[in-house]
């Protein structure tokens, strides 16, 4: 039997409470989608780390930038690199 690799990490009680607010409230992650959601997040993290590991780790751990902001900034940089630079016209 081949088992798939797994990552296990601890979360804080506050994080658990945020994910599972109570019987009257809807959970933040729909039932059955946690694994797929974290796989997608891990794919993005791996991609960012492969691009610039030291800066990504430092920025995330020091909370200088949030994960979502870093992903957006890196995507914008990637798109900017693909587009040809426009020449600015001088205005008289």
Report pLDDT digits (tens) over 43-75: 988 988 998 899 889 988 998 877 777 677 777
**Count of H-run helices and E-run strands, the chain:** 3, 0
Residue 13 CA: distances (Å) to CA of 10, 17, 59, 88: 10, 6, 24, 53
Domains of the chain by residue range: 48-81
For the ranges 19-23, 29-33, 63-67, 88-92, the lowest mean pLDDT is seen at 88-92
């Amino acid at each position: 039997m081949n088992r798939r690799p797994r990552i296990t990490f601890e979360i804080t009680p506050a994080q658990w409470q945020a994910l599972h607010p109570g019987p009257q409230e809807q959970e933040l992650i729909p039932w059955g989608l946690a694994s797929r959601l974290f796989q997608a997040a891990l794919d993005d993290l791996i991609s960012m780390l492969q691009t610039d590991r030291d800066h990504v780790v430092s920025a995330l751990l020091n909370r200088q930038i949030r994960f979502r902001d870093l992903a957006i900034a890196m995507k914008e940089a990637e798109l900017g690199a693909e587009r040809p630079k426009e020449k600015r016209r001088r205005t008289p």
